[in-house]
Structure 1
């Protein structure tokens, strides 16, 4: 593993983009994202050494308070990229192998490898579909409930597989709940501590945390919402994040996500052969490798990263391989429409402008 060099120097000085076409288009696009799909949004865009930070909407319904540019938020499945990085560091240390059978740690799982667990070709039923979702009435009763990884995994495993291992891509949070437990057994520490020791602390990600069962989000932050049965919005900023666990519990900022993705894609966290594995799709023409996804823009630019849905917060963080163009964005959705329908064009605009 390469020594961490130069990370602290990243983004210490924010040089605004020239007050011309690019920022104006990006601000107008962000306003459209919020008008269509959100309560508020914040974004950090890096373009060849220059940085633009934007925001739109409000931090809290019923107020005019602006979304904080340095706000904390739940990053959802971007947590998987952190977790997969730790797993691949253990591979580099020869404590794990990508072809290890998952049955070494979960005897009831037959024919699934670590690689398939990480690239969502395991065929394991996604625990998400066993849980009530808003606006189902049962959902709200679980707001403060503490879930264990074992409990969530077993909820999933009582359901039949969605396919044979390696047969097709089918997203499964269950696999990453298992990965968290495997990392703990192999690494000898909780996955939380290993992410902290291997990534958060070396990179100086001071605004990134794993809350466990702690319901609050550090200040400053925008409020997040979920729909009530009557389709009005319920403030869901505080909730017990154990339901996400290793598959999505983390909290961060756009600045810290940008720093993490820059270090990862810049080769500072993994040796080249494992970073290449991380970028390799699990299926032909797929867009998801080992905890890392990618988008292809209309202007021919490919950007790597991930997105995450944590109920009241939706996040995206992507960077080009040369690290010259990078976008990290968070939206507090209003559930009026599918946010991907407006965020995907915005990301395209941010990378191609």
Structure 2
């Protein structure tokens, strides 16, 4: 099943992109063993193509819908970085602020090395933080309200900061959920509000992301699917805590939204970088989109919640991030040259094959848009 794109100023472009999306998504669904998938392409602020295929739940006749919400996993990291950018513009902190400066109440108990780590290093994955929390935190989903969650997140971060980082800050890139959880906690400390509230106020509401929320999307939406005994694919009831990561690591990856809103979020970053929006200041959007010089051989061009990656024949770079909590997989590319955003997602299958399929589809979509621009 597919839904037709809205007509824009370039109907021929819309039709060809729509045709390619309709053709390729069912093939990716089959090749990657996905349960369901969907894709949306926005260009110059308009939807030029959208398509959806497969099922919301394995072995149930519940087809994917055009406005379904999808868990976006680690794409949440760019949202946390964007939130922090908004606080930078308000003068509440800076990317050069240190953990010790921002969290005075906890500074005395911190390892001295952590006190000197900057917010920028946390967002660039060069803070020295290891990749993930321990199992006790990762499986902690026992929160009855926001206050309990805030306390648990603060406690988990405090415990991390009491011991030395895994690496000397600034000497190694290591992709870190912990680093983004620390960054989100610092934003909460400085602003005096929960990370969830700040994301609502500084990202979802001003950008009109009405479908966005936290945790597994409930209601009539795709269920995530987990694997048991390494092979069995099991639908994960979104009403149960096990359907998502612990909300303690929320700033690193617990947001959901529709793909229309995900692509709209991507368009907001492109528009701001082009000087067509004042959502963020010119200096802040430049910082968020600028990757620091690599510090080791495995250091990718990772900016503030974004990776610069090529999906085009001319090998130009686009802003990219993907994400998975192992039960969904989402994929977002923002291409500055064509001013297009590509949002794709599945409620699981083979993640590596999904990544390959979505990447190849994005390359072919960009090829179309490049040809039409000539």
User: Residues 69-94 of structure 1: CA distance to partner in whole angstroms, max 9, x if unpaired?
Assistant: 21112111122212111111221222
CA shift, 1:254, in A, is 0.6
1:68 aligns with 2:71: no
Alignment of 1:251-270 (within 5 A): 251-267=256-272, 268=277, 269-270=279-280
1:114 to 116, 119, 123: 119
CA shift, 1:312, in A, is 1.0
Runs of at least 5 residues in structure 2 that lack an aligned partner in the other structure: 144-148, 369-374
1:28 to 3, 20, 23: 23
CA shift, 1:183, in A, is 0.7
TM-score (normalizing by structure 1)? 0.83
1:181 aligns with 2:185: yes
Runs of at least 5 residues in structure 1 that lack an aligned partner in the other structure: 1-12, 133-138
CA shift, 1:144, in A, is 5.1
Contact 1:43/1:329 (CA < 8 Å) preserved in 2? yes
Give the match's secondary structure for 2:88. Answer: helix
1:315 to 314, 330, 336: 330
Higher helix share goes to which structure? 2
Alignment of 1:83-232 (within 5 A): 83-104=80-101, 105=103, 107=107, 108=110, 109-128=114-133, 130-131=134-135, 142=139, 145-146=142-143, 148-153=152-157, 161-211=165-215, 217-232=217-232
CA shift, 1:237, in A, is 4.1
> Mean alpha-carbon deviation: is it higher for 154-163 or for 80-89?
154-163
Contact 2:31/2:353 (CA < 8 Å) preserved in 1? no
Q: Show the counterpart of 2:39.
A: 43
CA shift, 1:230, in A, is 5.0
User: Residues 163-189 of structure 1: CA distance to partner in whole angstroms, max 9, x if unpaired?
Assistant: 321122211011111111111111122
CA shift, 1:233, in A, is 1.0
Count of matched residue positions in the alignment of Structure 1 and Structure 2: 329
> Mean alpha-carbon deviation: is it higher for 290-299 or for 72-81?
290-299
Contact 1:73/1:222 (CA < 8 Å) preserved in 2? yes
Give the match's secondary structure for 1:270. Answer: coil
Cα RMSD (Å): 2.8
User: Residues 112-148 of structure 1: CA distance to partner in whole angstroms, max 9, x if unpaired?
Assistant: 11110011111101225x339xxxxxx9xx4854473
> Using the alignment, how far apart are the partners of 2:353 and 2:160 within structure 1?
26
> Cα gap change, 1:60/1:308 in structure 2, threshold over 3 Å: closer, same or farther?
same
1:248 to 249, 253, 271: 253
User: Residues 331-351 of structure 1: CA distance to partner in whole angstroms, max 9, x if unpaired?
Assistant: 111237553233222222222
1:291 aligns with 2:287: no
TM-score (normalizing by structure 2)? 0.78
